[in-house]
Amino acid sequence: MEQIKNFARYFKPYKWRIAAGILFILISIVFGLIVPYLVGQAVDDLSLAVTWDKIVYYPLVILGVNLMSGIFLFLQRRVLINTSRHIEFDMRKAFYASLVDQPLEFFQKNRVGDLMARATNDLAAVRQVFGPMILYSFQAIFALAVVLPILLNISVTLTLLILIPMPLVSLTVKYLGDQIHIRFEKIQGYFSDITARTQENLSGVRVVRAYAQEDSEIEEFQKLNREYAAQNLRLVKFAAAMRPLLFFFIGLGFVIIVAVGVPMAVRGEISAGDFTAFILYLQRMIWYLIALGYVVNLYQRGTASLKRFNAILETEPTIQDAPETREQPKIKGRIEFRDLSFAYNGKTVLENIDLTIEQGKTVAFVGKTGSGKSTLMSLIPRLLDAPEGSVLIDGIPIRQFPIEQLRQSIGFVPQETFLFSNTLAANIAFGVQSEPGAVATGFLSEPPALAGGLISANGSHISVEKAAEIAGLADDVKDFPGKYEQLVGERGITLSGGQKQRTAIARAVMRNPRILILDDSLSAVDTYTEEKILHNLRDVRQDRTTLVVSHRVSTIRDADLICVLHEGRIIESGTHEELLEFAGEYAELYQRQLLEEELEATD
């Protein structure tokens, strides 16, 4: 019931539409229930005398009443089913917004395929709770509320006889409804598994093929698919049994009525017209009772899906603005780490980091894999949340900055480059779409508008072409058939690893950020291209704080400060020359890379 209460909040914007739809249901029911009365009247009237006027009058009146009932039936379905689509739209929007606000660890705990299943299959089942379920529920409630008094008025005896099979009907609905709910919840879980498996295999298709695991993956998918089909077949057994059983038990009541009512009509205890009307009303009531069985089916499916759907919506983002957060002065770029310690999944990743990075300086971080470099970078834009007061920008704890203001001032290039299935220009301009004065990108309108040199009205960012030039991508773009309109495919599959990294760098540079973070973002480019990019970035880095993570000494040797991390601690810091003179881990790394370069040169 709590799930339904949460669902009900989506009804509020459409309360007048829903009220109109319910009114149309009532009017349609009223016109529909006039028909049996008119038929009964016609039978009694024509049994007295058959005239041409009566033969013309009754069919025309009945046809007119049926027409009015049909008109309002159309209106009720149009209003309520349309409204259910609007509610589905609002719920999908809320679901997507909830996902976007979640931190990184949320997506590490929840599979993408499962989330997709909840946003599609589960949401479709939830929509049925509002549209058809509410439609049939009100139809049945109104009809039964009107029909029952009419039946009692015609014959109390016959009406009471109808109630004999009702306990069997109730038990059938209760038992089968519970079984449908349990099985449908399992089915949705299996559907999530299938969706997740498909998504992983399509995303990792290169790995599957490289290891010749196509047959193995097909077999694994078949196992899931067979179990999903088996679960559906178990559900079908119960769902398919509900309507026939309801027809059977309600039919028992119908048999009793005929067995008792016909002799009553023969004895004159009830007129032929009233008995005919009683049978027609009973047929209507049977249909609505069957509809209630269908409603129970929809309700059990919908609540099972609603539970899964709400589980995501009710997950509060662990990283969000506090209620008292206010806009701060424009970020300049001074960064401080004050006794920063950070644990992830119970494991300490960073420990006692004390470091001040002045505005406009370039600071590099090196260290072995797992030393905490990427974690440290992720704390600055609050992709991960550091302890209160341990990370500051311009002397202000980063939690006091609105997340949007903080991240709009940062250009972040992560280790794993992600490109959208769109044009090259749209991918480069992705980070400036929502900024004031930005021209629409290929995600919203024509990508060609970007290629000619997009500059915002307020000059807050540079052009796509300039950003590509700084990132060392412009020469490659000249060879693309579509130039900046070139579609890069899903996850940038049509580009090389180096081209994807340079596209990501261009995306970050185009924002003209106050803080630029390059997390091992040159690992896939050759040393010549690397030197070219670094040379271009020198102009961009002026007056901007730049943090660089790299395993290559050549990438960071010109940094104002180099920090060496080991097991979450800064064990060395200084300039390139100072660290070589110190003869520690950095010097060892430098000597090892020099040796590797010499060996490559002699090959």
- CATH code for residues 2-313: 1.20.1560.10
- Average pLDDT in the chain: 76
Query: Residue 101 has what pLDDT?
Result: 73
Q: Where are the domains of the chain?
A: 2-313, 329-409+513-603, 417-512
Query: Residue 597 has what pLDDT?
Result: 61
Query: Residue 440 has what pLDDT?
Result: 37
CB half-sphere exposure, 519, CA atoms < 13 A = 19
Q: Is 520 exposed, middle or buried (0-12, 13-18, 19+ CB in 10 A)?
A: buried
What distance in Å separates the CA atoms of residue 591 and residue 583, rounded to the nearest whole number?
10
Query: Residue 437 has what pLDDT?
Result: 42
CB contact burial 82-114 (16+ within 10 A = b; e otherwise): ebbeebbeebeeebeebbeebbeebeeebbebb
Q: 360 in helix, strand or coil?
A: coil
pLDDT in tens, 432-490: 765 544 443 333 333 333 333 343 434 455 678 888 778 777 777 777 777 777 777 66
Query: Residue 596 has what pLDDT?
Result: 65
Per-residue confidence band for 603, with pLDDT thresholds at 50, 70 and 90: low
Per-residue confidence band for 170, with pLDDT thresholds at 50, 70 and 90: low
Query: Residue 459 has what pLDDT?
Result: 46
What distance in Å separates the CA atoms of residue 479 and residue 204, rounded to the nearest whole number?
28
Helix (H) or strand (E) holding 79: helix 52-101
What distance in Å separates the CA atoms of residue 410 and residue 331, rounded to the nearest whole number?
9
Domain 417-512: homologous superfamily in CATH? P-loop containing nucleotide triphosphate hydrolases (3.40.50.300)
Question: In DSSP terms, which residues pair with 572 in a beta bridge?
Answer: 564
pLDDT in tens, 254-297: 777 777 777 877 777 777 777 778 778 777 777 777 777 667 76
The answer, yes or no, to whether residue 311 has pLDDT greater than 80, is: no
Helix (H) or strand (E) holding 152: helix 123-154
Per-residue confidence band for 61, with pLDDT thresholds at 50, 70 and 90: confident
Q: What is the mean pLDDT of residues 34-38?
A: 80
Structure tokens at 569: 């601690």
Query: Residue 441 has what pLDDT?
Result: 37
Rg (CA), the chain: 35
Query: Residue 213 has what pLDDT?
Result: 66
pLDDT in tens, 522-549: 776 666 777 777 777 776 666 788 888 8
The answer, yes or no, to whether residue 119 has pLDDT greater than 70, is: yes
What distance in Å separates the CA atoms of residue 91 and residue 86, rounded to the nearest whole number?
9
Q: What is the mean pLDDT of residues 205-217?
A: 67
CB proximity list for 24: less than 8 A, separation 6 or greater? 72, 73, 75, 76, 79
Query: Residue 530 has what pLDDT?
Result: 72
User: In the sheet where 515-519 sits, what is the strand order?
Assistant: 410-413, 515-519, 545-549, 362-367, 561-566, 569-574
Per-residue confidence band for 504, with pLDDT thresholds at 50, 70 and 90: confident
Instruction: Give the fold, CATH level 3, of 329-409+513-603.
Output: Rossmann fold (3.40.50)
Query: Residue 444 has what pLDDT?
Result: 32
pLDDT in tens, 346-395: 788 888 888 888 888 888 888 887 788 888 888 888 888 888 888 888 88
> What percentage of the chain carries pLDDT values higher than 70?
84
Tell which wins on pLDDT, 312 or 569: 569
Query: Residue 210 has what pLDDT?
Result: 63
Per-residue confidence band for 130, with pLDDT thresholds at 50, 70 and 90: confident
Q: What is the mean pLDDT of residues 224-228?
A: 79
C-alpha distances out from residue 410 to 164, 453, 530, 541, 550, Å? 73, 22, 22, 13, 19
Nearest to 133 by CA among 301, 305, 307, 372: 301
φ, ψ of residue 165 to 5 degrees: the values are -85, 0
Domains 2-313 and 329-409+513-603 share a fold: no
Q: What is the mean pLDDT of residues 34-39?
A: 80
